[in-house]
Amino acid sequence: MAEQKDRWSTNAYQHSASFVPKLATKVVSWLDLQKDDVLLDIGCGDGILNAEFAKILSQGNGSMHGIDSSVSMIGAAQELCKDHRNSTFQVLDATQLVSKPGLQKGIFNKAFSNAAMHWILRPEDTRTQFFNGVYASLAPGGIFAFEMGGLGNVSEMRAAILSAVARRVGMEKALEADPWFFPDETWITSALEAAGFKIERVEREWRPTPTDKGGVEGWVRLMGSQLLDAITDEKEREEATQECSNVLKEVASIVKPIMRARNWKVRQLAEFYPEQHNLLGLNVNRGAKICLRLRHAGDRNQFMPIENIVDTMLHELSHIVHGPHDAKFHALWDQLRDEHEGLVLKGYTGEGFLSKGRRLGGSRIPPLEARRLAREAAENRRSRPGTGLGKRLGGSAPRPGEDIRRVIADAAERRSNILKGCGTDNLTEAQIQNISDTATRNGFRTQAEEDEANNAAIAQALWELVQEDKSVKYGSSYIPPTADNPTGNGGGSIAGI
């Protein structure tokens, strides 16, 4: 059997997946480990749980043997449990249990596995021998308690990685490199019974999990490394890694000037992929969390156009001030859309882009310099051939010969879809909270305090240029939005009319 690459690093695991042993409370209670038990831990990992098991077993005559295919993980487990003589560890691919006679004599009265079998069961041709191997390791009446990813697990992140990889090597190769198998209750029950097990309980549950210190990118790099390695070019592989975590950040970046003017804060922005195909966005507790659909309901591998997502984001931001979809709500939504399009026309594409490579000795950009850079960006955009009106929320500017009625109808249809796709009028508070919780693992914080100072300064300068245009358009009647008055006066009377 060819030697496999050890993809696991204990440091990376603690940085991006330390939540794994912390979430094992239920399956550990099902195991119900006693001091005289003889335990086989399948896919033991870095030994965090084993150290706790060893304390229980040391109170009696119990013992534990942990196996894992990763040399680095076994080394970490051995180090963590070195003071417990009742604990042994072995580098072993769990699908090869049947090839180890010493582990096939029914010497264990309990077997355990946490967050490992969705990796172990990926090769279809070794699934049967895996379950047979576990069954043969147990004494008559022995217990096998395990937890693994089930159908729908990390679906959004899996789709993001598959999509990013498939765009570079094709979907067939991406699926071949997919390292996971997430079955439902029916499949796992049948597989266990075929090996001789009698099922006492099996369940599948949603378990929303916030990202670790490494964030979404750290999770992608660690858990998705096998899939990403299907991309042989190192530069393209890094681009794919970044792509998986950039869409939400781009949306947040685009709307920051609009939020900052009103002192709006969204603590968490998250992707969700709800069962309701028309559901596009949720605002939980007036901006405590906003959930956005990033992918088409019929195809998880395809991202929706960024302007559609931004429009939904502006819609959900409007709910910070107004709950129901009444006239005041629509007026504010229209105002946010107008402000966004004003920024686009000035060359704004999101913080983190305009000031790249333009730092001034590492210090903050002076206001006058920020305005100069902002004006330069706006002028550069206007002078670019074919720039036109940019990606407006109502769609691109009509092309020569295009039916303007069709353009207007398309814009109206999208507005209607966003209204229908907002959970505010269509879901109960309990439903909103439940859907929101399932999206938490794909979120990240968006506080304005996290803004890089120079990017924020240039964005603010662009915002001021937009406000200058508004003042020229509406004259002295124009009142800009503020934290105390987020709608301003919604414009004013057109100057000169």
Question: Tell me, what CATH number does 19's domain have?
Answer: 3.40.50.150
User: Could you tell me the pLDDT band of residue 261, with boundaries at 50, 70 and 90?
Assistant: confident
Q: What pLDDT shows up at residue 470?
A: 74
With respect to residue 266, please indicate whether it lies within any of the assigned structural domains.
yes
- For residues 194 and 251, state if they share a domain: no
Residue 121 has pLDDT above 90, yes or no: yes
With respect to residue 308, please indicate whether it lies within any of the assigned structural domains.
yes
Digit-coded pLDDT (tens) for 431-483: 767 666 655 444 444 433 334 444 555 566 666 667 777 777 777 777 888 87
C-alpha 317: how far from chain center: 20
Domain endpoint, select from 139, 170, 204: 204
With respect to residue 210, please indicate whether it lies within any of the assigned structural domains.
no
- For residues 440 and 379, state if they share a domain: yes
Q: Which residue has the higher pLDDT, 252 or 324?
A: 324
- For residues 260 and 366, state if they share a domain: yes
- For residues 197 and 291, state if they share a domain: no
Residue 268 has pLDDT above 90, yes or no: no
Q: Which residue has the tokens 């050890």?
A: 6
- For residues 256 and 142, state if they share a domain: no
Q: What pLDDT shows up at residue 9?
A: 45
- For residues 96 and 184, state if they share a domain: yes
Query: What is the pTM assigned to this prediction?
Result: 0.53
User: Could you tell me the pLDDT band of residue 259, with boundaries at 50, 70 and 90?
Assistant: confident
Residues 140-162 as b or e (16 or more Cβ within 10 Å = b) = eebbbbbbbbbeeebebbbbbbb
- For residues 407 and 343, state if they share a domain: yes
Q: What pLDDT shows up at residue 426?
A: 66
Host domain of residue 271: 246-477
User: Could you tell me the pLDDT band of residue 34, with boundaries at 50, 70 and 90?
Assistant: very high
Q: Which residue has the higher pLDDT, 154 or 316?
A: 316
Residue 1 has pLDDT above 90, yes or no: no
Residue 83 has pLDDT above 80, yes or no: yes
Candidates 395, 418, 413, 411; CA nearest to 280 is 418
User: Could you tell me the pLDDT band of residue 357, with boundaries at 50, 70 and 90?
Assistant: very low
Residue 336 has pLDDT above 70, yes or no: yes
- For residues 455 and 365, state if they share a domain: yes
Q: What is the mean pLDDT of the chain?
A: 76
Active site residues: 316
Average pLDDT value for residue range 172-190: 91
With respect to residue 357, please indicate whether it lies within any of the assigned structural domains.
yes
Residue 247 has pLDDT above 80, yes or no: no
With respect to residue 408, please indicate whether it lies within any of the assigned structural domains.
yes
Average pLDDT value for residue range 342-349: 72
Residue 492 has pLDDT above 50, yes or no: no
CA distances from 300 to 219, 265, 274, 410 (A): 19, 29, 11, 23
Residue 202 has pLDDT above 70, yes or no: yes
User: Could you tell me the pLDDT band of residue 355, with boundaries at 50, 70 and 90?
Assistant: very low
**Beta-bridge partners for 67:** 42, 90
- For residues 185 and 294, state if they share a domain: no
- For residues 199 and 306, state if they share a domain: no
Average pLDDT value for residue range 238-251: 70
Q: What pLDDT shows up at residue 104?
A: 95
User: Could you tell me the pLDDT band of residue 166, with boundaries at 50, 70 and 90?
Assistant: confident
Tokens of 407: 């353009």
Q: What pLDDT shows up at residue 359?
A: 28
Q: What pLDDT shows up at residue 278?
A: 84
- For residues 303 and 452, state if they share a domain: yes
Total domains in the chain come to 2
**Beta-bridge partners for 283:** 290
With respect to residue 368, please indicate whether it lies within any of the assigned structural domains.
yes
Residue 26 has pLDDT above 80, yes or no: yes
- For residues 199 and 314, state if they share a domain: no
Percentage of the residues of the chain whose pLDDT score is greater than 70: 67
Digit-coded pLDDT (tens) for 381-406: 555 544 443 444 544 444 445 554 55
With respect to residue 160, please indicate whether it lies within any of the assigned structural domains.
no
Q: What pLDDT shows up at residue 101?
A: 93
Tokens of 447: 């506080």
Digit-coded pLDDT (tens) for 93-115: 999 999 999 999 999 999 999 98
- Map the chain to HEC letters: CCCCCCCCCHHHHHHHCCHHHHCCHHHHHHHCCCCCCEEEEECCCCCHHHHHHHHHHCCCCCEEEEEECCHHHHHHHHHHCCCCCCEEEEECCHHHHHHCHHHCCCCEEEEEEECCHHHHCCCHHHHHHHHHHHHHHEEEEEEEEEECCCCCCCHHHHHHHHHHHHHHHCHHHHHHHCCCCCCCHHHHHHHHHHHCCCCCCCCCCCCCCCCCCCHHHHHHHHHCHHHHCCCCCHHHHHHHHHHHHHHHHHHHHHHHHHHHHHCCCCCEEEECCCCCCCCCEEEECCCCEEEECCEECCEEEEECCHHHHHHHHHHHHHCCCCCCCCHHHHHHHHHHHHHHHHHHHCCCCCCCCCCCCCCECCECCCHHHHHHHHHHHHHHHHHCCCCCCCCCCCCCCCCCCCCHHHHHHHHHHHHHHHHHCECCCCCCHHHHHHHHHHHHHHEECCCHHHCCHHHHHHHHHHHHHHHHHHHHHHHHHCCCCCCCCCCCCCCCCCCCC
Average pLDDT value for residue range 123-143: 97
Please state, in angstroms and rounded to a whole number, the distance separating the CA atoms of residues 108 and 135. 10
Q: Cβ(265)–Cβ(287) under 8 Å?
A: yes
With respect to residue 427, please indicate whether it lies within any of the assigned structural domains.
yes
Q: What pLDDT shows up at residue 338?
A: 86
Q: What pLDDT shows up at residue 297?
A: 79
